[in-house]
A and B are shown apart, each in its own frame.
Chain A
Amino acid sequence: MTELRGSASEPCRVLVLDDEPLILLDLEFAVEDAGCTPLTALDLVEALAIVQNNAISAAILDVSLGRGQTCEQVARTLAAMGVPYVLHTGDLDRMDEAVRNLGGTLVPKPTPAAVVVARALEPLAIRHV
């Protein structure tokens, strides 16, 4: 598998946000398989901390984080920084209008983790062509 890197020396870091640990584990492996460094977050607070303290190349965001929370705030932050992300969700219809309007790539659940990661890394590959 070709390795994607943020730059010649920097590893490509991918933020993975999901409130379900088992899905997070699967995505973490898939990000590693793609030659990137996964940074995992189970909730908004963790995700925002990761975004602030690391140079992120791409992100996979679960839309609905339980207890009425959505990934909107993280998505906004990433969008402002120009970091591409995919919205990984089990319910595209119910998705918050606000989240939908953010314009991230939608990947419906369930999609194989390798495919989710590939979709998340697509913008980077294009950038490096």
Chain B
Amino acid sequence: MKRNIPSDNPSSGPVDQAHTVFDASAAQFMAQHGEDTFTGASGVLFEQAMAQTRMAICLCDPNLEDMPIVFANRAFRHLTGYDEQEIVGRNCRFLQGPKTDQTVLKRIRTALANEDVLVVELLNYRKDGEPFWNALHLGPIYNAEGKLIYFLGSQWDVSDVRAARADERHARELARELSHRMKNMFAVIGGIVNFTGRVRGIEAEAREINDRIQALGRAYETTLDDSHRGTVEVGQAIRAVLAPYDPDGTRIRFEGNGLRSDFASVSVLGLSLHELAVNAIKHGALGTDSGSVTIAWKRNGSTASPAIRIDWIEHGVGPQANAKQLVSNDGIVDRMLDMARGGIVREWHSDGLRAKLNIPLREHAE
């Protein structure tokens, strides 16, 4: 089935050209190339598909001198700004310009020579000189006898995608730089606290202060990766805070999901867990050879007042150690959690401390 519709006549078609059914250039191409190329119903499909697709498509004939374009659909003309008579008969290189990457062009030439399929991004230029990033897919088309008859090129303007990618990369680099600076700043603060303690003769107190500051730093670190969200993944913060107390990763077990909270809650939680870990090293499960700790976190409470519930469960501790742990508790954890409108309940079981921590969950940063 052939249609001899005269070449592009904008006034004859609906306004939304991308969705008109027939593309005159497709019909014309078919008229010139005959049914042997596009037989039967597939010919109609070709016309309709070429007209409707928003993907710019062209066919080049490698059997003609300089591999000219023999067909370009409406989307191709729309993308490049050229009319059909300015496209057909020319080699694709008229889309290149001063900033087109030569190494990419070399890859294209190699792919054409080897009859390979290739997907590349290259800088092309519209008729008005405006550059755009073209995601070019090219590949060979063979006839029924296996003879190479065309190269297909499909083009998609990915300028926006690339700009978004660049923005994202920039944001990532910035977050990384911030993270680096913050770690350095916490290291400097730690240094100041330490040497102040030393010259004042209060090393132990300074160490206690510094350990808390560093625990806070580790909890904070996790916020930088997705600072735009304004919330922290609770489990990530817990792992970061407790990492130094289990250098081999064999003593502390983590059980929880991707629960998120605002940083104010996480800082108190982080510091509380730090205190529990320090106690466990002095008197509890982390101070024995075989003891271990399981930490589980989950969302708790009602829909109206959600909370984070953390279970701290020590294993492998004798009853004697428990008594000491009770004595050593200076109440700072209770006070911190109280201040955050949460709380802690401790129970001593035969194999160690079990503490239930509770703190209001604020999922949305203010």
Given contacts A29-B198, A91-B176, A93-B176, contact A109 B191 (CB under 8 A): no
B222 to chain A, nearest CB (A): 14
Known: A22-B191, A26-B190, A29-B194. A110 touches B176 (CB 8 A): no
- Using CB atoms, name the residue of chain A closest to B217: A110
A20 within 8 A of B: yes
In whole Å, how far is A83's beta carbon from the nearest beta carbon of chain B? 24
| A89-129, CB < 8 A from B | 90-91, 93-94, 108-113
| Residue of B with least CB distance to A20 | B188
Binary CB contact string for chain B from 77 to 112 against chain A (1 if under 8 A, 0 otherwise): 000000000000000000000000000000000000
A20 B210 Cβ-Cβ under 8 A: no
Stretch at the interface among B126-134, B151-159, B177-185, B229-237: B177-185
How many residues of chain A have a CB within 8 Å of chain B?
A: 18
CB distance from A109 to the nearest CB of B (A): 5
Separation of A112 and B191 alpha carbons in the complex (Å): 8
Q: Write out the residue numbers on chain B whose beta carbons fall within 8 Å of the beta carbon of A109.
A: 183-184, 186-187
- B residues near A110, Cβ cutoff 8 Å: 183, 186-187, 190, 214, 217
Chain B residues lying within 8 Å of A30, measured Cβ to Cβ, are: 194
- Chain A positions 21 through 56: 1 when the CB is less than 8 Å from some CB of chain B, otherwise 0: 011011101100000000000000000000000000
Residues of chain B lying within 8 A (CB to CB) of residue A94: 176, 180
The closest CB in chain B to the CB of A28 belongs to B195
State whether the Cβ of B363 lies closer than 8 Å to any Cβ in chain A. no
Selected contact of A23 from candidates B176, B179, B191, B211, CB within 8 Å: B191
B305-359 interface (Cβ within 8 A of A): none
State whether A91 touches B192 (Cβ < 8 A): no
B residues less than 8 Å from A90 (CB atoms): 180-181, 183-184, 187
- Of all chain A residues, the one with the shortest Cβ separation from B191 is A26
Q: Decide: B188 and A22 in contact? CB cutoff 8 A.
A: yes
A5 and B160 alpha carbons, distance in the complex (Å)? 63
The CA of A93 and the CA of B175, in the complex, are separated in Å by 13
Among residues of A, the one whose C-beta sits closest to the C-beta of B184 is: A90
Q: What is the number of residues of chain B that contact chain A, defined by CB distance less than 8 Å?
A: 21
Residues of A within 8 A of B183 (CB): 90-91, 108-110
Residues of A within 8 A of B187 (CB): 20, 23, 90, 109-110
CB of B192 within 8 A of CB of A22, answer yes
Partner of A113, one of B180, B194, B211, B217: B194
Chain A residues whose C-beta falls within 8 Å of the C-beta of B181 in the assembled complex: 90
Residues of A within 8 A of B244 (CB): 111
Q: In the bound complex, what is the Cα–Cα distance between A113 and B207 (angstroms)?
A: 10
- CB within 8 Å for A25 and B195 given contacts A91-B180, A94-B180, A112-B210: yes
- List 28 A–B pairs whose Cβ atoms lie within 8 Å, in order of A's numbering: A20-B187, A20-B191, A22-B191, A22-B192, A22-B195, A23-B188, A23-B191, A25-B195, A26-B190, A26-B191, A26-B194, A26-B195, A29-B194, A90-B180, A90-B184, A90-B187, A91-B179, A91-B180, A91-B183, A94-B176, A108-B183, A109-B184, A109-B186, A110-B183, A110-B187, A110-B214, A111-B244, A112-B194
* Given A110-B214, A112-B211, 7 more pairs with CB closer than 8 A: A20-B184, A22-B192, A26-B194, A27-B191, A91-B179, A109-B187, A112-B190
Which A-B residue pairs are the 10 nearest by beta carbons? A26-B191, A110-B187, A90-B183, A91-B180, A22-B191, A109-B187, A110-B186, A23-B191, A90-B184, A26-B194
